[in-house]
Chain A
């Protein structure tokens, strides 16, 4: 019995004693912790204190974290397939029951993982389409682990569960897309799939504790957010991740009908923090919500410490289409062809360093007003480029940012570094 207890203790403690991976950066280094799960940005002195030697990477004066793009992305979002039979009304990839032309298979994605690992990427987020239906998903996940990458997955839970359950414990985190409870699910997605998605949540939770839900926030489900947090608590889930509706794929056609209102955006952060506190569950907001966080003026320094960033496409993250084409983020179009083909994710090392890489995703420092004078520009980076592109100009300020809305109405907005009284529900 004592031997069993000691073995259990060793198993529990093992991740705490795991070796830390790191990546050198011009400002210092990024160090990965596996428990607690975190990427820690340290300056050169702290990196030296940890025994790291920057060599040529640290030649010259140390820049700030945001003075230039990172040495490589932190994570890559791989759309393994565009095949999905669910037919959601607002699918941002426009997925269909048939796979798209030229989709990569296991060998090509393995090569992509090799390129990402060689570049120093820490995490990959696998999605689709519905990647859970791919017969080679387990082999790909094993390859990611073997190369030191942590694989994570988003699934609809509507298909491929029989394939996914036996390999679920190999993922760092799996989130099931649930945009509403019962009828609200149908209001957002166009069909009632809640029962099947809920069954997937319960089955996955039986295999691994690292299960959460992704919720695309719309005007149809905004009022239901506290109930969704309570649902996540009942299912003993690890987190709720809230995503802004993006005008991409089939989502563009129903964008005006389903996107949140300005009032929703201003109320989002207090609403979700109160719901998270009540349900005692962790909450994540996607990068496109950073303008709505900044609206509550938590302080640029605090957001920097928590690595809260707006558009980090082509810097902290990259995307890859099912054909392997590299993109700044999953919603962005691939770069123009370079010779006879577009740059691919396995070309990352070469493409990353090009001065024109990722186009206007990397030119946020030249932002127009009201972003130029915003105290949060470095964190927010102008908001979501995809929403700006939908409004007509990819490089323009996010038109749904409360500060931009006020600027256009000629209403004074006070987050130029001074407090404006929109305090958060701090406990």
Chain B
């Protein structure tokens, strides 16, 4: 039987700010329960959309740096 797997995170919205990464914190108003309830809806939306013709990229992540580099 195929495992359904998990949705690990959902980053909502688009970030127009060119100086930092903006994250939507409105969900903190409704708490963890509401976020958990939204997850199956996100899963359904993922299944509903057909995949694009080709993935954006197929490559492995770089290794995590183990030694601190020199400050700049």
Question: Which residues of A are interface residues toward B (Cβ below 8 A)?
Answer: 16-28, 31, 33, 36-52, 55-57, 59, 63, 65, 67-72, 74-75, 77-79, 92, 117-123, 125-128, 148, 150, 152-154, 171-175, 210, 212, 214, 239, 241, 243-244, 246, 269, 272-273, 276-277, 282-288, 293, 298-299, 301-302, 304-309, 312, 316-317, 319, 329-333, 335-336, 352-357, 359-360, 362-363, 365-366, 389, 393-395, 424-427
**Provided the pairs A125-B18, A329-B20 are in contact, do residues A26 and B11 lie with their beta carbons within 8 angstroms?**
no
Complex Cα distance, B71 from A332, in Å, reads: 11
| Interface contact A42-B51, CB-CB below 8 Å | no
Q: List 7 A-B contacts (CB under 8 A).
A: A17-B48, A69-B61, A127-B19, A284-B15, A305-B8, A329-B20, A355-B65
CB within 8 Å of A: which residues of B?
2-32, 35, 39, 42-43, 45-53, 55-65, 67-72
* Given A330-B19, A426-B29, residue A43 in contact with residue B6 (CB < 8 A): yes
- From A25, which residue of chain B is reached at the shortest CB distance? B61
Whether B17 lies near A306 (C-beta < 8 A) is no
Q: How far is the CA of A104 from the CA of B68 in the complex (A)?
A: 32
Out of B39, B50, B58, B69, which one reaches A363, CB within 8 Å? B69
Instruction: Specify which of A47, A71, A359 is in contact with B71 (CB 8 Å cutoff).
Output: A359
CA A283 to CA B15, docked complex, whole Å: 12
Which residue of A has the minimal Cβ distance to B71? Answer: A394
Contact between chains at B46 and A33 (CB < 8 Å): yes
Q: Are A243 and B20 in contact (CB under 8 A)?
A: yes
> Is the pair B51, A46 in contact by a Cβ cutoff of 8 Å?
no
How many angstroms between the C-alpha atoms of A75 and B14 in the bound complex? 10
Task: Determine the chain B residues whose CB is within 8 A of the CB of A317 once the complex forms.
Answer: 20-21
Given A46-B4, A65-B8, A307-B10: A302 and B20 interface contact (C-beta under 8 Å): no
Chain B's nearest CB lies how many Å from the CB of A300? 11
Determine which of B30, B31, B47, B51 lies in contact with A52 in the assembled complex, contact meaning CB atoms within 8 Å.
B51
Kindly identify which residue among B3, B9, B17, B42 contacts A125, using a CB–CB cutoff of 8 Å: B17
For B64, give the chain A residue with the smallest CB separation: A68
A72: contacting residue among B8, B59, B68, CB under 8 A:
B59
| Residues A28 and B32 in contact in the complex (CB < 8 Å), given A20-B51, A285-B23, A356-B69 | no
The chain B residue sitting closest to A29, CB to CB, is B55
How near does chain B come to A244, taking the closest CB pair, in angstroms? 8
CA distance in complex: A120, B54 (Å): 11
Contacts of B70 in A (CB 8 A): 359-360
- Contact B59–A39 (Cβ < 8 Å): no
A45 to B8, CA, bound (A): 11
Q: Select the residue from B13, B45, B63 with max chain A CB neighbours within 10 A.
A: B13
**What's the nearest-Cβ distance from chain A to residue B11, in Å?**
4
Known: A45-B2, A45-B6, A356-B69. 11 other contacts (CB 8 A): A28-B5, A39-B11, A40-B10, A42-B5, A123-B15, A127-B18, A152-B14, A173-B16, A288-B20, A293-B25, A331-B19
CB distance from B19 to the nearest CB of A (A): 4
C-alpha gap A413/B61 in the complex (Å) = 35
Instruction: Indicate if the CB atoms of B12 and A306 lie closer than 8 Å.
Output: yes
B47 contact set on A, CB distance < 8 A: 49-50
* Assembled-state Cα–Cα distance A117/B56 (Å): 7
- CB-CB under 8 A from A210, the residues of chain B are 14
Q: In whole angstroms, how far apart are the Cα atoms of A231 and B9 in the complex?
A: 31
Provided the pairs A44-B5, A356-B69, A359-B69 are in contact, do residues A306 and B61 lie with their beta carbons within 8 angstroms? no
